[in-house]
């Protein structure tokens, strides 16, 4: 545990004479944003604390204190392009509460977050064009309970996640269906459309969080849109895999009901009578026609010889598939 306090001398922002040059030029800036978000969990053990500001801020007019579990942490402060960046001198402790406070020439800010287990920063070369197989068969279906038996067939037990582009600031991911051949080889399922995530912040490297997006799966010839798909997790060192993944999504009965010759309410009643899972309020409008999905403890293996190819309009398939496994 580091025990050195991050303390940059606060310049005198209130002068006591006309000749006090520092006092006359030290005007409190406007602090416009901070990262990580207050209460964020998990945050990379190597994460910097960022504070955006408008105005002029002399480097000697900053006092910043960072603690983990109440003990002071050493780090350095850098001011570049109206961003104040505090970077720890060493990795923060795992699964630890971190608090910070800032006084920038009289403008103040503070926050707290909790670190995760991971902290090894990855370079763009570690991840560019990488593809991972996400194991849903052995993940934990939090919502609905028993969802792996009831809804797991939709995903076929596995999804692919590919890195289209990555930089120090952003990561662009694409998802696709997977199928496992008789010899155990995993390949992209040409029958399932790919689903593209918008480029997202990678400030929490090696953690990522992307979405929402929409994917469409086929279940016994019926198109099932999966909406509000979000995905999070951490890349392992050197990009060798993904750990601690979580996926959230929603199925709206109104998107499927017509295809099965029912109203949305009738379909919800049928699903509840058959599976015990009741429809809940949809995030879009509050109507109780949706099934919420939450899957945690997702692990992913890197596939050395596979790259997810964009395929938004897949070929027609004559065999039933849900991702193949």
pLDDT tens by residue, 231-251: 999 999 999 999 999 999 999
Poorest-confidence range of 109-118, 135-144, 279-288?
135-144
271 in the same domain as 150? yes
For 78, the token pair is: 């850098």
pLDDT in tens, 70-118: 999 999 999 988 999 999 999 999 999 999 999 999 999 999 999 999 9
pLDDT level of residue 318 (50, 70, 90 thresholds): low
Q: Could you report the per-residue pLDDT of 168-183, keeping only the tens digit for each?
A: 899 999 999 999 899 9
Quickly state the pLDDT bin for 25 (edges 50, 70, 90).
low
Q: Specify the number of domains making up the chain.
A: 2
Instruction: Establish if 322 belongs to a structural domain.
Output: no
Distance CA 177, CA 159 (A): 5
Verify that 50 and 100 share a domain, yes or no: yes
Domain that holds residue 128: 124-302
pLDDT at 100: 97
Residue after which a domain boundary falls, among 80, 115, 150: 115
Cα–Cα–Cα angle for 305, 310, 314, rounded to 5 degrees: 110
Give the Cα separation of 86 and 83 in Å (integer). 10
Question: According to the model, what pLDDT value does residue 155 have?
Answer: 80
CATH number for the domain including 69?
2.60.40.1220
Band the pLDDT of 11: cuts 50, 70, 90. Answer: very low
Beta strands 195-196 and 40-43, pairing class: unpaired
pTM above 0.85, yes or no: no
Same-domain status, 84 and 209: no
**Residue 315 lies inside a defined structural domain of this protein:** no
Q: Please compute the mean of the pLDDT values over residues 184-189 and round it to a whole number.
A: 92
Residues 282 and 161 in one domain: yes
Structure-token pair, residue 122: 């990855």
């Amino acid at each position: 545990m580091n025990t050195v306090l991050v303390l940059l001398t606060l310049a005198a922002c209130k002068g006591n004479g006309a000749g006090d040059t520092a006092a006359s030029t030290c005007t409190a800036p406007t602090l416009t944003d901070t990262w990580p978000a207050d209460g964020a969990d998990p945050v990379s053990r190597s994460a910097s604390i960022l504070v955006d500001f408008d105005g002029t801020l002399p480097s000697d007019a900053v006092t910043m204190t960072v603690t983990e579990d109440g003990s002071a942490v050493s780090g350095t402060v850098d001011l570049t392009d109206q961003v104040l960046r505090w970077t720890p001198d060493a990795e923060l402790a795992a699964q630890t509460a971190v608090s910070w406070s800032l006084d920038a020439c009289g403008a103040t800010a503070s926050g707290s977050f909790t670190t995760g287990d991971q902290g090894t920063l990855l370079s763009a070369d570690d991840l560019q064009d990488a593809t991972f197989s996400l194991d849903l068969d052995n993940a934990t279906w939090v919502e609905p309970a028993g969802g792996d038996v009831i809804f797991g067939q939709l995903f076929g037990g596995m999804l692919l996640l590919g890195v289209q582009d990555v930089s120090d600031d952003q990561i662009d991911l694409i998802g696709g269906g997977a199928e496992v051949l008789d010899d155990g080889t995993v390949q992209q399922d040409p029958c399932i459309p790919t689903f593209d995530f918008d480029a997202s912040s990678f400030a929490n490297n090696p953690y990522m969080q992307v979405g929402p997006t929409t994917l469409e799966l086929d279940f016994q010839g019926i198109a099932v849109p999966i909406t509000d798909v979000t995905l999070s997790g951490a890349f392992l060192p050197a990009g060798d895999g993904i750990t601690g993944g979580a996926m959230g999504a929603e199925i709206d009965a109104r998107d499927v009901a017509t295809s099965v010759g029912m109203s949305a309410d009738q379909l919800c009643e049928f699903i509840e009578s058959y599976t015990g899972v009741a429809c809940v309020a949809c995030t879009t409008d509050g109507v109780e026609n949706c099934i919420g999905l939450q899957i945690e403890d997702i692990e992913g293996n890197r596939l050395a010889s596979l790259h997810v190819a964009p395929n938004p309009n897949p070929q027609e398939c004559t065999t039933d598939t849900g991702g193949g496994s």
